[in-house]
């Protein structure tokens, strides 16, 4: 079995054999923004760390994506002591575009509390998966990313102050068979290197917009898909740099062009039977005259409760899906991005799209959350959805309105928060759903990092302001 096969069980002995001819190992974990933070270590140190982990400076959670340290409101140990990095042997893969160096993911552990670190994204997802498993279900998901590509380098972007960038290709060419030809080596390397890296891409094509690609990652177990989504961004960016290209997962690079989504698909597998738990088996509980149930023919009560839980939680967990200032500029009317708490059958304008027969095989019944942008930290986005859905199943929550059908938007739900600050205030409010399903420790840390992001925006002088006011006022 190849090292990139899903969740192969490894021991220290089997890993030692796998690394027989290696001299070093790459290890990394996810920070709160989803940015891989890691290092190369000697094989000897790696082997020594397998049982108890190794020290990793907690500044990884004490600074933002540009390495600016947070103020005192974000609580990290200010001496910047070490957290423990605990290696997950089942994450073993090799990086094909880096001389096949072995790569392992790790989780951040709090050595004082002797528990997973409160802000570790991967640990948060593991907890959500365990809560789902305790109900008898295994969460499955898939992730799609859209991303812009530019004929730029880090040096040229810096020289241009990030504006007036040259797109990889001009024009609007969604699903084009022409445009990939212009940069076929880059396009093909992304596909094949990702496959060799253990990130199979189910579908890869151009999306509408200058130099935009979209990749749909193969469906699978939630933790594995989150790992793949996390590493996919890194892989694309690294491969792009080798071709003199900058790939961007920013949600809305241009005000007048489509944004970049990070859609997520979900279903639950019955652990005992292996069947799709979102499919109505004909023995579902009675929901009386429930209008939503009547409209969701072929979908199970479990699916309906999961959806209702997600709908109820969505405003509260929104910062997990839309984590940056820019995220919210993608959610605008008439742009295929959802702006309300809503769900619909085969509706790509609603926040949640229900996918069921006759438009797919019964076994492929699932939901698609269309809210996240490509800037989402997949660990957090997937964790939030699963936790919200599990809450819905436990409490047997019912949707407050029926799903809209097809292109009919009908009466959609409440407007989603318009800014990061508004969304964070909902998340951090006493008694919020987010606090219930994610825990106070995580919400306090994550929420305050997002308020830090808002403060950076509030004091920034933008190109828009310069252009509008420099001469006129």
d(CA 321, CA 434): 12
236-272: pLDDT as tens digits: 999 999 999 999 999 999 999 999 999 999 999 999 9
Residues contacting residue 305 through CB under 8 Å, at least 6 positions apart: 389, 392, 393, 395, 396, 397, 398
- pLDDT score for 406: 61
| Domain-located, residue 299 | yes
Same domain, 343 and 222: yes
- Domains contained in the chain, number: 2
Q: Is 140 exposed, middle or buried (0-12, 13-18, 19+ CB in 10 A)?
A: buried
Identify which has the larger pLDDT, 74 or 5.
Answer: 74
Over pLDDT 70: what percentage of the chain? 95
- Are 58 and 204 in a shared domain? no
- 177 and 260 assigned to the same domain: yes
Residue at a domain's end among 117, 152, 174: 117
CB contact at 8 A, 60 and 31: yes
Q: Which of 91, 117, 143 is the last residue of a domain?
A: 117
Residue 126 lies in a domain: no
* Residue 66: Cβ within 10 Å count: 7
**Over the stretch 121-161, which tens digit does the pLDDT of each residue have?**
999 999 999 999 999 999 999 999 999 999 999 999 999 98
In a domain, 27, yes or no: yes
Q: Is residue 300 located within the same domain as residue 412?
A: yes
Structure tokens at 376: 């989402």
Task: Judge if 243 and 345 occupy the same domain.
Answer: yes
Phi, psi of 376 (to 5 degrees): -65, 145
The string of DSSP codes covering 136-176 is: TEEEEEEEEEEEEEES--HHHHHHTTT-SPPBSS-S--TT-
DSSP string computed for 306-328: HHHHHHHHHHHHHHHHS-STGGG
Q: What is the pLDDT averaged over residues 297-319? A: 97
Alpha-carbon gap, residue 77 to 64, rounded angstroms: 15
Asked if residue 4 is part of any domain, the answer here is no
473: in domain = no
The reply to whether 104 and 151 lie within a common domain is no
Q: Kindly state whether residues 76 and 144 are assigned to the same domain.
A: no
* 80 plus 150 within the same structural domain: no
The phi, psi pair for 288, rounded to 5°, reads 60, -135
CATH of the domain at 165: 3.30.590.10
Report the length, in residues, of the chain: 473
Task: State the residue range of the domain holding 241.
Answer: 133-464
Note the helical H segments in 396-460: 420-428, 433-438, 440-458
125 by DSSP, 3-state: which? helix
Mean pLDDT in the chain?
Answer: 93
Residues 155 and 67 in one domain: no
Shared domain check, 104 and 141:
no
More confident residue, 270 or 408: 270
pLDDT band of residue 2 (cuts 50, 70, 90) is very low
Q: 312 and 437 in contact (C-beta within 8 Å)?
A: no
Closest among 203, 260, 262, 205 to 229, alpha carbons compared: 262
Q: Are 141 and 89 part of one and the same domain?
A: no
Average pLDDT over residues 271-295: 79
- Are the C-beta atoms of residues 263 and 283 closer than 8 Å to each other? no
Task: Indicate the residue among 73, 91, 117 that finishes a domain.
Answer: 117
User: What's the whole-number mean pLDDT along residues 29-48?
Assistant: 97
Distance in angstroms (rounded) separating the CA atoms of residues 264 and 143: 5
Distances (CA, A) of 325 to 318, 345, 348, 446: 12, 30, 24, 14
Asked if 422 and 447 sit in the same domain, the reply is yes
């Amino acid at each position: 079995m190849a090292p990139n096969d899903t969740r192969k069980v490894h021991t220290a002995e089997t890993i030692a054999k796998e690394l027989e001819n290696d001299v070093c190992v790459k290890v990394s974990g996810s920070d709160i923004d989803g940015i891989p933070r890691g290092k190369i270590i000697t094989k000897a140190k790696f082997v020594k760390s397998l049982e108890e982990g190794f020290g990793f400076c907690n500044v990884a959670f004490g600074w933002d994506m540009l390495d600016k340290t947070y103020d005192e409101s974000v609580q990290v140990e200010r001496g910047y002591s070490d957290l423990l990095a605990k290696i997950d042997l089942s994450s073993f893969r090799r990086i094909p575009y880096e001389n096949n160096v072995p790569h392992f993911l790790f989780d951040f552990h709090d050595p004082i509390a002797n528990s997973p670190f409160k802000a570790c994204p991967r640990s948060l997802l593991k907890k959500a998966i365990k809560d789902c498993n305790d109900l008898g279900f295994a969460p499955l998901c898939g992730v799609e990313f859209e991303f812009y590509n530019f004929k730029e380098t880090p040096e040229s972007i810096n020289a241009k102050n990030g504006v007036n960038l040259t797109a990889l290709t001009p024009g609007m060419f969604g699903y084009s068979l022409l445009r990939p030809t212009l940069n076929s080596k880059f396009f093909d390397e992304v596909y094949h290197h990702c496959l060799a890296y253990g990130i199979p891409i189910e579908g890869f094509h151009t999306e509408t917009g200058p130099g935009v690609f979209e990749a749909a990652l193969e469906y699978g177990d939630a933790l594995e898909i989150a790992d793949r989504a996390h590493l996919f961004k890194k892989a694309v960016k690294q491969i792009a740099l080798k071709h003199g290209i900058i790939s961007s997962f920013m949600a809305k690079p241009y005000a007048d062009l489509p944004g970049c989504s990070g859609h997520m698909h979900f279903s639950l597998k019955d652990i005992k039977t292996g069947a799709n738990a979102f499919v109505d088996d004909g023995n579902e509980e009675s929901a009386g005259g429930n209008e939503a149930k009547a409209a969701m023919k072929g979908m199970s009560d479990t699916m309906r409760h999961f959806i209702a839980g997600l709908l109820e939680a969505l405003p509260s967990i929104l910062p997990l899906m839309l984590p940056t200032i820019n995220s919210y500029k993608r959610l605008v009317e008439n742009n295929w991005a959802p702006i309300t708490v809503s769900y619909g059958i085969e509706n790509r304008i609603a926040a949640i799209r229900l996918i069921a027969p006759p438009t797919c095989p019964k076994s492929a019944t699932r939901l698609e959350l269309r809210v996240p942008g490509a800037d989402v930290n997949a660990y957090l986005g997937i964790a939030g959805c699963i936790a919200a859905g599990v809450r819905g199943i436990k409490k047997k929550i019912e949707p407050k309105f029926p799903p809209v059908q097809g292109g009919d938007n009908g009466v959609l739900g409440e407007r989603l928060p318009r800014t990061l600050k508004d969304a964070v205030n909902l998340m951090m409010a006493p008694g919020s759903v987010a606090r219930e399903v994610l825990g106070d420790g995580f919400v306090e840390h994550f929420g305050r990092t997002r308020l830090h992001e808002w403060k950076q925006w509030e004091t920034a002088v933008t190109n828009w302001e310069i252009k509008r006011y420099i001469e006129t006022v």
